[in-house]
Chains A and B, each alone.
Chain A
């Protein structure tokens, strides 16, 4: 998740504090209403319970402050001591693995999307609190349900707490200059837009290097907007298809319109640099880029000229984007499962969740419908698009079951490299596709 690290490092802690002050009045009152008639599940808290929670580090400082304050309130109300540890993004998957395998460590880990599905056997079911929260807060959004329930069942093994997406970010002046109001949704017109941008020397650029967030995000978009997928519903490798071929041929046309110097060596931070330097005028990124530009007086003008929109849909019916999801799980080895479940549910209640959501400025988006009324989504019209991030109908490893293998395919850049080799002219679309198929077969052989 290196992209997020870099976003965070660009942003800096001080900026987060300033933003908290700006959103201060929003924190004062709740705008979200839960259905008070829904009864909470009875979770008698074990005697002498204490909890250890592990979660990824913050995007912005108020995230951690509000989270800790919420945890302290839980202690106040229940008497359960809670210790929350924040670990780096690149470490949380490994720590989840060790915790699951050794049967020791934190009671609850708020990890990334796939983890509960990989360690399903080591977790206790969260159906009672998930169903309660769903009823109370207007139902779960698609991403919440998809990542929360065990594949093909109605049993909740994870409890999604937030998601973050990467839309198109573009310079209004440039897009208007070449005769478009906003980026079009069909792929042919989008290609035309990029060609025109190249002609006026204000080109687009999307990462095709080994960039875990941006590279995979772009490759997934290419696949899904052409109706292609790496595996099918049953989990069988389906990358070798006419749809994939169409995506590869499309990129062959699109790539020459990218920034001078190419994007095959781009890491997660490269598009941020190029966008901030007026070198690249249209790219795909999380909300961090916008905030980094907005909070730096030197680039404020770029932020003012920037707009977010969903990536062109192509053949997809909705935004072809897989948000990165925070997914809470409670381990079987916990001696206080009720306390842990109560804690997770408590954090999702409006008194805790809404201030936390607002404090995050749009970096994390809610998985429960009622929270779309939160003030953060209207605080800046340019972050409103992130509000519906968890409604995405796509996930890593779409269309198949979520497994260890889908994470591995991302980590090994199977799709990114398939596209990059065609963009670089190193392989024909057909050869690149067969190579991706060979690698996918190996990766998904056990899934």
Chain B
């Protein structure tokens, strides 16, 4: 008994299997990753995978489909309505993006100056973007109404025209009208994002340039623009994706009409998939948007985001 102090050994705690399992690193890694992987699988991979799977079947609403291979895509390639939607999606995205960035950048530069009521003005600028798209669409639907357009009414009252303006009754006017509505709606997002970018540019750069006797254009070209490029790339990526996948404006204003001339791929996919019930065909059209979006993203990333820190390296 007396030698108990020297003979003391640390009591060996028998670790149970759970503790041992939890101490095992590979298991722990899997366990910690599981929630994230689960969320991604359920909410991202499964719907995307299902969409792609559906594109290769002849599923309709009311009948589970059979595998038909590329049949949907073969039909699509011969379908002038599909090619028209491809054309208009690209055209709509291209023109609307250029419009939004030209006007948005201009607006951001104006707002970056010292103006009275600056914060109030900035808040007002955001309005078109805050309003729900459907509301915007309904407003434009009235503005473009073939009989009750306020613009037609004004022009006729002023004696400038005798007949209503054709906004959405024929193909090209309808296309331009939708692009105008999209630009109107998209400007605030671009303007506010670029304004945030502008404010991160150090004033000392401008001071130095001023001392060197630079012109306003030179300051824009050699300081503002390059410094803004990183944020421009990101905003443009988002803008292109939003515009290319636009649905609400077109569906609410023209429903793809007149005679399918303003269908975007998103509205055509919906039209075929849900009201017409051809889930397989609709999914095939939706899947065909993926290459365009990947291209747009890669373009923004590689062509515009060339600074090293944007690609995970340090900035030298």
CA distance A142 to B316 in the complex (A): 83
Residues from chain A with Cβ under 8 Å of B260 in the complex: 417
**Closest Cβ neighbor of B260 among chain A residues:** A417
Contact flag A265-B163 (CB < 8 Å), given A93-B61, A408-B277: no
Contact flag A265-B277 (CB < 8 Å), given A260-B147, A273-B147: no
Q: Does A263 contact B (CB under 8 A)?
A: yes
Residues from chain A with Cβ under 8 Å of B147 in the complex: 259-261, 270, 273-274, 277, 279-280
Q: Does A262 contact B (CB under 8 A)?
A: yes
Give residues of chain B (211-257) contacting chain A, Cβ–Cβ below 8 Å: 254-257
Do A426 and B146 have beta carbons less than 8 Å apart? no
Do A265 and B164 have beta carbons less than 8 Å apart? no
Q: What is the interface of chain A, defined by CB distance below 8 A to chain B? A: 93-94, 96-97, 100-101, 118-119, 209-210, 212, 259-267, 270, 273-274, 277, 279-280, 404, 407-408, 411-412, 417, 420-421, 424, 426, 435, 442
**Closest Cβ neighbor of B147 among chain A residues:** A261
**Closest Cβ neighbor of A96 among chain B residues:** B62
Cβ of B263 to closest chain A Cβ, rounded Å: 10
Residues from chain A with Cβ under 8 Å of B255 in the complex: 209-210, 267
Residues from chain B with Cβ under 8 Å of A277 in the complex: 147-148
Between-chain CB contacts (< 8 Å), 17 pairs: A209-B258, A210-B255, A212-B275, A260-B163, A261-B164, A262-B146, A264-B169, A266-B146, A267-B255, A270-B146, A277-B147, A407-B277, A412-B272, A412-B275, A420-B257, A426-B170, A426-B261
Q: Does B152 contact A (CB under 8 A)?
A: yes
Do B259 and A421 have beta carbons less than 8 Å apart? yes
Residues from chain B with Cβ under 8 Å of A442 in the complex: 75
CA distance A408 to B169 in the complex (A): 24
Q: Does B192 contact A (CB under 8 A)?
A: no
Q: Which of B61, B64, B170, B274 contacts A264 (CB 8 A)?
A: B170
Residues from chain A with Cβ under 8 Å of B168 in the complex: 265
Top-10 shortest CB links A-B = A261-B146, A97-B62, A261-B164, A210-B255, A411-B276, A411-B275, A262-B169, A264-B258, A265-B168, A421-B259
Contact flag A94-B61 (CB < 8 Å), given A261-B163, A421-B259: yes
CA distance A230 to B119 in the complex (A): 61
Do A265 and B276 have beta carbons less than 8 Å apart? no
CA distance A132 to B200 in the complex (A): 82
Residues from chain B with Cβ under 8 Å of A96 in the complex: 62
CA distance A367 to B43 in the complex (A): 47
Do A100 and B146 have beta carbons less than 8 Å apart? no
Give residues of chain B (275-295) contacting chain A, Cβ–Cβ below 8 Å: 275-278
Contact flag A261-B277 (CB < 8 Å), given A100-B62, A101-B62: no
Cβ of B10 to closest chain A Cβ, rounded Å: 63
Q: A260-B147, A424-B258 are in contact. List 12 more A-B contacts (CB 8 A).
A: A97-B62, A101-B64, A261-B163, A262-B166, A262-B169, A265-B146, A265-B258, A270-B147, A280-B147, A411-B271, A412-B275, A424-B259
Q: Which of B60, B61, B174 contacts A265 (CB 8 A)?
A: B174
CA distance A279 to B80 in the complex (A): 36
Contact flag A426-B171 (CB < 8 Å), given A408-B277, A411-B276, A420-B259: yes
Residues from chain A with Cβ under 8 Å of B114 in the complex: none
Q: Does B63 contact A (CB under 8 A)?
A: yes
Do A264 and B276 have beta carbons less than 8 Å apart? no
CA distance A299 to B147 in the complex (A): 18
Residues from chain B with Cβ under 8 Å of A421 in the complex: 259
* B-side interface residues, number (CB < 8 Å): 38
**Closest Cβ neighbor of B80 among chain A residues:** A435
Contact flag A265-B169 (CB < 8 Å), given A412-B271, A412-B276, A420-B259: yes
Residues from chain B with Cβ under 8 Å of A274 in the complex: 147
Residues from chain A with Cβ under 8 Å of B167 in the complex: 265
CA distance A262 to B144 in the complex (A): 12
CA distance A94 to B256 in the complex (A): 22
Residues from chain B with Cβ under 8 Å of A259 in the complex: 147
**Closest Cβ neighbor of A279 among chain B residues:** B147
CA distance A442 to B61 in the complex (A): 17
Cβ of B153 to closest chain A Cβ, rounded Å: 11
CA distance A420 to B260 in the complex (A): 10
Residues from chain A with Cβ under 8 Å of B152 in the complex: 261
Residues from chain A with Cβ under 8 Å of B148 in the complex: 273, 277, 279
Do A210 and B169 have beta carbons less than 8 Å apart? no
Do B62 and A260 have beta carbons less than 8 Å apart? no
CA distance A99 to B154 in the complex (A): 52
Cβ of B145 to closest chain A Cβ, rounded Å: 8
Residues from chain B with Cβ under 8 Å of A273 in the complex: 147-148
Residues from chain A with Cβ under 8 Å of B149 in the complex: 261
Do A265 and B257 have beta carbons less than 8 Å apart? yes
Residues from chain B with Cβ under 8 Å of A263 in the complex: 146
Contact flag A417-B61 (CB < 8 Å), given A261-B146, A412-B276: no
Residues from chain B with Cβ under 8 Å of A209 in the complex: 255, 257-258
Cβ of B141 to closest chain A Cβ, rounded Å: 9
CA distance A404 to B61 in the complex (A): 10
CA distance A119 to B60 in the complex (A): 13
Cβ of A420 to closest chain B Cβ, rounded Å: 5
CA distance A424 to B257 in the complex (A): 11
Cβ of A246 to closest chain B Cβ, rounded Å: 21
Do B169 and A404 have beta carbons less than 8 Å apart? no
CA distance A266 to B274 in the complex (A): 21
Cβ of B279 to closest chain A Cβ, rounded Å: 10
Do A426 and B277 have beta carbons less than 8 Å apart? no
Cβ of A111 to closest chain B Cβ, rounded Å: 11
Do A97 and B61 have beta carbons less than 8 Å apart? yes
CA distance A277 to B152 in the complex (A): 16
Cβ of A202 to closest chain B Cβ, rounded Å: 14
CA distance A264 to B145 in the complex (A): 11
Cβ of B195 to closest chain A Cβ, rounded Å: 37
Residues from chain A with Cβ under 8 Å of B170 in the complex: 264, 424, 426
**Closest Cβ neighbor of B144 among chain A residues:** A265
The interface centre, meaning the residue of B144, B271, B276, B278 with most chain A CB atoms within 10 A of its CB, is B276
Do B62 and A119 have beta carbons less than 8 Å apart? yes
B137-167 near A? 1/0 per residue, CB < 8 Å = 0000000111111001000000000011011
The interface centre, meaning the residue of B80, B259, B278 with most chain A CB atoms within 10 A of its CB, is B259
CA distance A100 to B144 in the complex (A): 42
CA distance A261 to B257 in the complex (A): 15
**Closest Cβ neighbor of B256 among chain A residues:** A210
Residues from chain A with Cβ under 8 Å of B272 in the complex: 412
CA distance A420 to B146 in the complex (A): 15
CA distance A407 to B274 in the complex (A): 12
Do B277 and A404 have beta carbons less than 8 Å apart? yes
CA distance A118 to B60 in the complex (A): 12
Contact flag A101-B63 (CB < 8 Å), given A260-B147, A266-B146, A279-B147: yes
